Amino acid sequence: MERVKLAREAANVTRFHTQPTLVTETVAHHSFNVVNLLLIMTNCEVSKRAIIAALVHDMGEPVVGDIPSPVKRAMNEETIDNIVKLEMDHIAKIHPYTAGEDYTFTPQEAFLLDLCDKLDGLLKCTEELELGNKKMIPIGNRYVQYVYDAHGDKPMHDITAKIIHQWQTGVIS
């Protein structure tokens, strides 16, 4: 029962807590959206462990909080490694099968997990902007840059291009 309690606590961590939002988003909302983006972008041709990773990737946040991306990017590697370890240890308390070598990913899976995480952040910003929350524009613009940075030389998936276009269209209008 303790694992169920910890999972429910993780689900209720609020995202975007440093920025006023019109609609509150929790880790549960975000994780659901990341899983669905992953399934849609791969036509369900993705490993079970990648789906589980998409579902549980932020369940360590009750221990460390939802650290804003600019703060994470300003941290040194050792600090980030320590935070990731705290998160992973907490996730392993809830889902012990996620610890260890069996939960390593192919480069493509790692790319897609990271991409879907970023795209969901951009979609949240787009939804907030559509509701009139212009304070999300700088955050959305950062997510666009994060997506481009993640892509590097890889060709852009059609859905990724459409999500970026939707953001850019909303910001201009």
pLDDT digits (tens, 9 = 90+) for 115-129: 999 999 999 999 999
Band (17; pLDDT cuts 50, 70, 90): confident
Residue 72 pLDDT exceeds 90: no
Evaluate if residue 5 carries a pLDDT over 90.
yes
Say which residues have a Cβ less than 8 Å from residue 42's Cβ, sequence separation at least 6: 112
**CA 46 to each of CA 36, 38, 127, 152: distance values in angstroms, whole numbers, following the listed order:** 12, 8, 27, 22
Domain annotation for the chain: domains and CATH numbers? 2-172 (1.10.3210.10)
Q: Which residues pair with 14 in a beta bridge?
A: 26
pTM above 0.95, yes or no: no
Residue 22's pLDDT is 96
Kindly list the distances between the CA atom of residue 38 and the CA atoms of 12, 65, 122, 160, in Å, as whole numbers in the listed order.
Answer: 22, 24, 15, 11
Q: Is the pLDDT of residue 173 over 80?
A: no
